Structure 1
Amino acid sequence: MDANDVSGDIDHVLLSKEEIQAVVKDLAEQIDRDYAGRDLLVVGVLKGAVMIMADLARALHSHVTMDWMAVSSYGSGTASSGVVRILKDLDTDLMGKDVLIVEDIIDSGLTLSWLLSNLRSRGPASVEICALLRKPEAAKVEIDVRYIGRDIPNEFVVGYGLDFAEKYRNLDFVGTLAPHVYA
């Protein structure tokens, strides 16, 4: 799905398909360098991280193990509810493993802060975060993020895994959703 398929719903494109590919390549190079010779468990946070997780895994030159976790604090709105629920837990035991959480976007940081605490309590050797996007102006808690693709303005964005009411995830770019769509 591209911009022509949703004309009128998108105010402007923040990251084109080509820009996303360049960001993913850069993130993969950093991760390969930092985890050379180590076994890495890459944990994608569903549903938003599906696109970045798939592209990042393909861009890595190292073997990785992959698992998925689904947590929710949004519902169908545009702001975090602050209450985190595990919808799908990991299938992998984290004890002694190097874990890299892969996120589509870091917004308030509330959900990710909870997730970090939860995963660290399971005895991993390390837990780090890789996020395609981060909204520094929206942060409500400080989180140490090792790998950040791009910082973006505090606008509601969709595409490349990011949704509004489960729509727009399959756009091949990241764009700002027009306010009339969610008003």
Structure 2
Amino acid sequence: MGSSPNITLHDKAFRPYLSAAELAAAVEALAGRLSADYAGRRPLFVVVLTGGFMFASDLLKRFSGDCEIVFIRVASYEGTSSTGQVQEILGLREDVQGRDLILVEDIVDTGTTLHHLLPTLLAKNPASMEIAALFFKPASLRHELTLNYVALEIPNDFVVGYGLDYDGLGRNLPEVYVAA
């Protein structure tokens, strides 16, 4: 990443990792794949809040077909590590039976959030279900998942920005930083 300075959030230092332009290119490519694969269909994008909001906004602006969007909120992070406990805070109220679902996640690391959500969503009998993730950390994965739509694979480092936070800070950054 170019000339962005290091930053400090709470007690932790972060250095530049991915620029806004690099993120935009990755999201554009993923949106193109989704648009092609879902041409002539009307998927329901299920966005996992809070981290997925910036990615989802940019992804869906670039999705060329008709679609619907809903939001759910779960949490499994505290500080810089996953708690392993997922709590569904805002649930899915829409009828998804027979619908093509695309679950939009900011980051897949341990896979705990998706491991919890997938059975719940599959029990609602969608026609299909895919995961679209901004980031995937293969080295952190603890659950078997099929990820067909990943914008970027990254190492097992803690990152903030572009929707990802460190104890509430950093979500608003247009680029991504890694713990220094």
The two structures share one fold, judged by TM-score above 0.5? yes
Is 1:3–1:171's contact at 8 Å kept on the other side of the alignment? no
Answering whether residue 37 of structure 2 is matched by residue 37 of structure 1, we say no
- One-letter amino acid of the counterpart of residue 62, structure 2: A
Q: CA deviation at 1:38?
A: 0.6
Q: CA deviation at 1:93?
A: 1.1
CA distance in 2, matches of 1:61, 1:91: 25
Aligned residues: 175
CA distance in 2, matches of 1:34, 1:163: 31
Give CA deviations for 1:136-161 in whole Å, capped at 9, x if unaligned. 11111121011011111111100000
CA distance in 1, matches of 2:8, 2:120: 40
TM-score, structure 2 normalization: 0.92
Residue aligned with 1:154, SS: coil
Give CA deviations for 1:25-82 in whole Å, capped at 9, x if unaligned. 10110001100101100011000000010001101111110000001122x3222222
Partner residue, 1:138: 140
| Structural mapping, 1:47-66, within 5 Å | 47-66=50-69
CA distance in 2, matches of 1:168, 1:23: 20
CA distance in 2, matches of 1:49, 1:72: 12
Partner residue, 2:156: 154
Could you say if the C-alpha distance between residues 7 and 71 of structure 1 is closer, same or farther in structure 2, counting changes exceeding 3 Å? closer
- Sequence identity of aligned pairs in percent? 40
Residue aligned with 1:102, SS: strand
Could you say if the C-alpha distance between residues 16 and 99 of structure 1 is closer, same or farther in structure 2, counting changes exceeding 3 Å? same
TM-score, structure 1 normalization: 0.90
1:100 to 102, 107, 120: 102
CA distance in 2, matches of 1:120, 1:44: 16
- One-letter amino acid of the counterpart of residue 57, structure 2: A
CA distance in 1, matches of 2:92, 2:156: 30
Is 2:80–2:158's contact at 8 Å kept on the other side of the alignment? yes
Is 2:106–2:135's contact at 8 Å kept on the other side of the alignment? yes
Partner residue, 1:7: 7
Partner residue, 1:169: 171
CA distance in 1, matches of 2:54, 2:104: 10
| Structural mapping, 1:61-80, within 5 Å | 61-74=64-77, 76-80=78-82
RMSD in angstroms over aligned alpha carbons?
A: 1.6
Q: CA deviation at 1:3?
A: 4.3
Residue aligned with 2:85, SS: coil
Q: CA deviation at 1:8?
A: 4.4
Flag as ranges the 4+ runs of structure 1 deviating above 2 A: 6-14
Q: Which has the higher strand share?
A: 2
Is 2:73–2:91's contact at 8 Å kept on the other side of the alignment? yes
